[in-house]
Amino acid sequence: MIVVPNRYSGPFGTLGKMPVIFFFVISDLHLYLAKWGRFNFSGCNCFLSRKTICAFFLEGSILTATTYNRVIYPKQLFMKSLPMFFFIASLFVAQASQAQVCNGALLWSDEFDGSSLDANKWSYQTGNGCPSLCGWGNSEQEYYTNSANNVYISNGVLVLKVIKESISSSSFSSGKVITKNHFSHTYGRFEARMRLPKGRGLWPAFWMLPNTNSWPTTGEIDIMEYRGDQTNITTGALHYGQSYPNNLNDGNAYTFSSGLDLDFHVYAVEWTANDIKWYIDNTLFKTETKNPNSLTPASNSAVWPWTTDFHVILNLAVGGWFTGNPSTANVQLTKPTFEIDYVRVYDLNLSGHTQTAYNGSTYPLPGKIEAENYDNNCRGVYYDINETNLGGQYRADGVDIENCLDAGGGYDVGYSEATEWQEYSVNVATASTFTVAVRVASGGTGSSMHVEVDNVNVTGAIDVANTGGWQTWQTLTSKSFELAAGNHIVRLAYDGANINCNYMEWKDLLNKSFGVSELRAIQVEDFADRILFHNSAGAKVQVFDIAGAQVGCSFVVVDKALQLNKTDLPAGIYLYQLDDKAGRFVVY
């Protein structure tokens, strides 16, 4: 197989532009088409399997697959047994196409690699709910069995299958498995990769109940529910409140671009002490919070019952209120199988993942921070409601970044919603009094934002009125505040929607020189629209084009710095020489 390093195209990271040589050896492989996806890389038809982080590339191919932990084999290798094979593939470029995601420690999983259901991890739940809860309280028409006809493993995939047959007064047989008495947990990321059935009346579910269950008072978490006659819609929900008929639920639907019966997708919740978030393929589509309590309708019983161990349930129901209560004759078994590739549970302790500055070093303050250059980490360095880059530019994660039409170009963070934020690692050389000037644009109604340092709001509300357009820019300056010397985490936070932000300019009101030494210790800051040569007043600066010809430039003195405006120069690469400092800069 061809082993890809940890930085590759997919939710765990990105392989940058780098030459890689792959070696692989394949011997006596048993490869099965049924469990693979199909990909096409520059005309090479390939099949995608499921377990290890591996890939196949042709020279120059570009990987845009959005799944991970998989193996890709060329189509010609698809056969039951192969002799040993050796292959070398060379240069390629890989690019990410999904949000960057990581998890804590893996607490529990089932990859369904055995020949039958693992009795150490799962139990069957059988019957139709009678006599105490016939139809499972939902007017369902199935009878759950422990038969291998209804619950079986095929090619590393757990299959729950509906069969039309008369069994104990029910019209269909099906499968339901639970982890109760085997595994349960409080908080974490619960995820499964699944392909859903198709047909009127089919109702697959991936959900959780507490071990001590007094439904609905003790709560229910529905990670995935789906109607087989609405194949591009999945839902997530919470159930709570008083006993029936005073029970309550809070659910949301997510409409996918294609039928969820066609391909495998990853469905997940991330459950913490204060919130529960629902994802499909790492796209966040629902969030509920304990404080402030977001449940709609508000609970008429326990305010937030999701504080104890829950176990996992997988089942494929037939009929019932959720599917529109079709009659037995109207149920359609177009694709009567619910396929589960794996189930995994992670904790959300991310202590092993370190927040780092985007460019590898902290921003020096005073100075300028580009809004799009927020810190790196798998999570915890930003919050964005939709977890999709709506602007589609610059970075492949959930922050909405778009091209900026302001002077100097570059990018801006846009499409803001209330409660969204980004974080930046900074260093303050000398304790002082500062202000922050934010470069903003808004085409909406009035809104506000603020800046925090180490979780303290230092600016108060910065009011942003309609500027006349989403790319009509104004600079707004905050009130002054004190900052201690040393490293800090800055958070740019949006109190309301309709704000685009280009950058933050931090100004030291006491120490006018940005240089770190009164001796001429020259520092160079390269911005999109200008270059500042700090502590360089009185120095001789020469600028050359890439061919070595000297270029005439005009400089202005800003405090003790010389400023060169890039807008005075044509696009290109330039070299500079200033005393004993030399370097280059680019004009776009």
DSSP 3-state helix, strand, coil percentages of the chain (rounded to 5)? 5, 45, 50
The pLDDT of residue 353: 61
Tell whether the model's pLDDT for residue 107 goes beyond 90.
Answer: yes
Instruction: Kindly state whether residues 341 and 255 are assigned to the same domain.
Output: yes
Instruction: Kindly state whether residues 416 and 535 are assigned to the same domain.
Output: no
Instruction: Kindly state whether residues 233 and 367 are assigned to the same domain.
Output: no
Tell whether the model's pLDDT for residue 521 goes beyond 50.
Answer: no
Q: What mean pLDDT comes out for the span 284-313?
A: 94
Which is nearest to 35 in space by CA: 192, 149, 194?
194
**Which residues, 6 or more positions from 168, have their beta carbon under 8 angstroms from its beta carbon?**
127, 128, 143
CATH at residue 220: 2.60.120.200
Instruction: Kindly state whether residues 313 and 223 are assigned to the same domain.
Output: yes
Q: What mean pLDDT comes out for the span 574-584?
A: 67
pTM of the model: 0.54
CATH at residue 394: 2.60.120.260
CB 383 within 8 A of CB 99: no
The pLDDT of residue 535: 62
The answer as to whether 518 is a domain residue is no
Instruction: Kindly state whether residues 153 and 258 are assigned to the same domain.
Output: yes
Give the ranges where 426-562 is alpha helix by DSSP (H): none
The answer as to whether 355 is a domain residue is no
Q: What mean pLDDT comes out for the span 462-472?
A: 95
336: left (phi over 0), alpha (psi -120 to 50) or beta: alpha
The answer as to whether 3 is a domain residue is no
Predicted confidence band at 485 (pLDDT cuts at 50, 70, 90)? very high
The pLDDT of residue 583: 66
CB 507 within 8 A of CB 366: yes
The pLDDT of residue 39: 32
Q: What share of the chain in percent tops pLDDT 70?
A: 75
Q: What is the DSSP letter of 294?
A: -
Instruction: Kindly state whether residues 342 and 381 are assigned to the same domain.
Output: no
Q: What share of the chain in percent tops pLDDT 90?
A: 56
The pLDDT of residue 15: 30
Neighbours of 257 (CB within 10 A): 5
Q: What mean pLDDT comes out for the span 390-418?
A: 89
The pLDDT of residue 546: 65
The answer as to whether 50 is a domain residue is yes
> Is residue 165 among the annotated active site residues?
no
524-558: burial string, b at 16+ Cβ within 10 Å, e else:
beebbebbbbbbbbeeebebeeeeeeeeebebeeb
Mean pLDDT across the chain: 79
Predicted confidence band at 349 (pLDDT cuts at 50, 70, 90)? confident
Please give the full DSSP string across 151-180, using - where no structure is assigned: EEEETTEEEEE-EEEEETTEEEEE-EEE-T
Q: Which of 94, 129, 157 is the endpoint of a domain?
A: 94
Helix (H, G, I), strand (E, B) or coil at 323: helix
Query: Which tops the pLDDT comparison, 24 or 129?
Result: 129
Q: What mean pLDDT comes out for the span 151-172?
A: 97
Instruction: Kindly state whether residues 157 and 55 are assigned to the same domain.
Output: no
The pLDDT of residue 55: 32
352-379 pLDDT, tens per residue? 567 789 888 899 999 999 999 999 876 6
Instruction: Kindly state whether residues 311 and 178 are assigned to the same domain.
Output: yes
Question: Could you list the residue range(s) of the whole structural domain that residue 232 is in?
Answer: 107-346
112-143 pLDDT, tens per residue? 999 999 999 999 999 999 999 999 999 999 99
The pLDDT of residue 588: 67
Which is the catalytic residue, given 140, 142, 191, 220? Answer: 220
Query: Which tops the pLDDT comparison, 588 or 436?
Result: 436
Instruction: Kindly state whether residues 475 and 335 are assigned to the same domain.
Output: no
Q: What's the domain count of the chain?
A: 4
Tell whether the model's pLDDT for residue 313 goes beyond 80.
Answer: yes
Instruction: Kindly state whether residues 437 and 475 are assigned to the same domain.
Output: yes
Instruction: Kindly state whether residues 371 and 396 are assigned to the same domain.
Output: yes
Which is the catalytic residue, given 140, 142, 191, 225? Answer: 225
The pLDDT of residue 348: 83
Tell whether the model's pLDDT for residue 430 goes beyond 80.
Answer: yes
The answer as to whether 537 is a domain residue is yes
Instruction: Kindly state whether residues 271 and 415 are assigned to the same domain.
Output: no
Encoded amino acid at 427, one letter: N
> Is residue 402 among the annotated active site residues?
no
